[in-house]
Amino acid sequence: MACGEFDVIARYFNRHRTARRDVKQGIGDDCALLSVSEKQLIAISTDTLVSGIHFLPDIDPADLGYKSLAVNLSDLAAMGADPAWVSLALTLPEINEPWLARFSDSLFEQLDYYGMQLIGGDTTRGPLSITYTINGLVPAGRALLRSGARIGDWIYVTGTLGDSAAGLAILQDRLSVEDNEERNALIHRHLRPHPRVLQGQALRDLASSAIDISDGVVSDLGHILKASDCGANLYLDDLPMSASLTNNTTPEQALRWALSGGEDYELCFTVPELHRGALDVALGLLGADFTCIGQIAPAADGMRFWRGNVQVELDLQGFDHFGKD
């Protein structure tokens, strides 16, 4: 890792719990050195989380250490890539050792879980923010792209939608939930999203396109439609929502959060009719829920919403960091 904070780095981040064979040089030189088989491509993604914008300033550093990496893992999941290495750029207003201990313990717990290695980064002084650049490996030619959806393909999502937005609303006192279990479940979905890494890998030869749901399914499916030059019919009655969500808010609010709440970090993907049987087996084996929510249509149709056989108009937009908060 670069810069002058050598003691801090050594103490909290220069751990070698997972020592990967493809890491020829880890933390401790000007660069890390990595080897890659020619049969694999490297998948690279970068995400920044800024205090007050992407997380609440009083967030537990253990939750932050978890979520900041999970968000980035979700991008690898959407490509069907296997997580490998990560660089961490951590900007801190001050050195707070208990904070660093909780943050880094939580980070390394997750790195170990995925067999990943922290290979470097930078620690700097400034307003709190975290940038990960994550590297995964994917067999050449088998990565899931946004651009492969075709007319007639079925649109699926993993898990349930809208819980994370409800969890954030609870944390910000915009939603009150009496039942403790449901309250905690929603908050947990916001603070500890589960990146669908295994599902992404299982989808490699089955899905025609995929994306992770960071901004809400309308916005993220929109990227698939744009990249694939398609439209879509979405069946609102089929949107998977948790009882924790539907028990504690109006149907309108639940629908809005499910469609455009953001930060669910589930996968949205398209599957040709031919692969639906294989899909049921492949994802079923992983024990995760997945739901068909619509079908790819011609581009001229745009994105249409249906309740039963009735087309409905919705005014929704995805989360835009410059547009709203």
- Min separation Cβ 322 and a copy of itself, Å: 6
Distance CA(211)–CA(221), nearest Å, equals 7
25 binds a copy of itself (CB under 8 A): yes
Which of residues 58 and 237 has its CB atom nearest to a copy of itself in the complex?
58
Q: Is 280 annotated as a binding residue?
A: no
Q: Residue 304, Cα to own-chain centre: how many angstroms?
A: 25
Tell me 237's DSSP state. Answer: G
10 binds a copy of itself (CB under 8 A): no
Q: Residue 67, Cα to own-chain centre: how many angstroms?
A: 9
Which of residues 125 and 150 has its CB atom nearest to a copy of itself in the complex?
125
Among 17, 24, 174, 307, binds a copy of itself (CB under 8 A): 24
- Per-residue mark of binding to a copy of itself, 44-83 (x: CB under 8 A): xxxxxxxxxxx--------------------xx-xx-x--
Closest to 22 measured CA to CA, from 154, 110, 119 = 119
Q: Residue 58, Cα to own-chain centre: how many angstroms?
A: 22
88 binds a copy of itself (CB under 8 A): yes
- Min separation Cβ 158 and a copy of itself, Å: 15
Q: Pairing relation of β-strands 310-312 and 303-307? A: antiparallel
| H or E, element range at 91 | strand 82-92
Site for a copy of itself in 106-135 (CB under 8 A): 119-122, 124-127, 129, 131, 133, 135
175 binds a copy of itself (CB under 8 A): no
> 38: burial class by Cβ within 10 Å (0-12, 13-18, 19+)?
exposed
Site for a copy of itself in 203-232 (CB under 8 A): 210-212, 214-215, 219, 227
Which of residues 172 and 322 has its CB atom nearest to a copy of itself in the complex?
322
Tell me 1's DSSP state. Answer: -
